[in-house]
Structure 1
């Protein structure tokens, strides 16, 4: 495998570049999920009997690994969408640079 091989942008059925996937819905799902898990853990720790600051602190700290485990599918979809968008932007930049240089291929 070549070291300098650039990843290619996936093609659309029409032959042009494929549109990058929408990332906003997955960003909203992931963000709301993180907030919901943190709120649930904080409320659970307050219900168990921890005081205000201890419950909030430990709830927020515990929400990090719990979110990492429970929100893996949405985090992976978000990462894939961001990577595809990045590839599409790099390809578009290369196309513009080539047109400006006069290499209309």
Structure 2
């Protein structure tokens, strides 16, 4: 099997999609047709940015993006998205605060 190395160009990023929830909070199994499309993922590769606009995100960042952002691809069995950095809403950082 051929191995691939992805190197996005310019301000594009390659994101491994987070897995959709298999069960609801009450333990009900969610069928594939009713699963929410994940809006979170881990950056696997980034482009070099634009001349006067360096990349803000880095490989390994966990990010939030729009529900319909990017182009879905599957490569080496990984469900992924390729999208512009500007389609990313933010970086998820660990915190000790509880959001309620």
Q: Which has the larger radius of gyration?
A: 1
Higher relative contact order (CA 8 A, sep 6+): 1
Report the TM-score range of the alignment, normalised by the length of the smaller protein. Answer: under 0.3
Q: State the TM-score, normalizing by the size of structure 1.
A: 0.25
Q: State the TM-score, normalizing by the size of structure 2.
A: 0.26
